[in-house]
Amino acid sequence: MKNVLSKFPVKKRRAVSQVMGSIVILGIVSSVGSVILFNGMNSISAFTYDLSFHEKSKNEIHREDIIFEHIRFIPNDDDIEIHLTNIGTVESTISNITILKIDTQEIIANWVDVTEPIPINTSKKIILDSSSIILTNGIVTQTWDDTYYVDGKYKISLTTVKGNFFTTVASPFNT
């Protein structure tokens, strides 16, 4: 019996097998797909972050900005005047003020409740008197022009009702 395939001689084929072709295509598709997937996830994350600024309560926190214009230590007294300006785009309300003597870590005013609203683009003077400020070097009550306090630097910090925190450093008779 003659070979049935003798009419069609067997040729040497040089091509990529189906398995190798499938693996190459799978590698290309998976690498391109992962790039598209991660870029899409980053875009969704950025979009969600941008949406958070449209919520009023979160938006107002970022728009609050207060500057200390002037700190006045009243001579021969233990009162202090703090001049603030609201340069933000929302009204701010000062909740608490803390004053700390930097070199000794002495707390001069500890979380004094103020509750002073400051409208947009306006200034406000806040006065802390002897009921809020404790200047005692030992037992005797002192004043700002005493030698213990006059050469010190003071960190003045305030907190707003929205939760923001503003701070500055001042010295008596030098600000």
Query: In terms of C-beta density within 10 A (0-12 exposed, 13-18 middle, 19 or more buried), how is residue 49 classed?
Result: exposed
In a 3-state reduction of DSSP, which class is residue 119? coil
Give the amino acid at 129: D
* pLDDT at position 13: 65
Report pLDDT digits (tens) over 64-123: 999 999 999 998 888 999 999 999 999 999 999 999 999 999 999 999 999 999 999 999
Question: Which tens digits make up the pLDDT trace of 125-169?
Answer: 999 998 888 887 666 778 888 888 888 999 999 999 999 999 999
What is the side-by-side order of every strand in the sheet holding 80-86? 66-73, 80-86, 123-128
Question: Which value, to the nearest 10 degrees, does the dihedral of the CA atoms of residues 132, 109, 79, 66 take?
Answer: -110
Q: 18-71 pLDDT, tens per residue? A: 888 899 999 999 999 999 999 999 999 988 888 777 776 667 888 899 999 999
pLDDT of residue 172: 92
Q: Which residue has the tokens 């005797």?
A: 140
pTM to 2 decimal places: 0.67
> Measured in Å, how far apart are the chain's first and last C-alpha atoms?
116
**5 has pLDDT over 70:** no
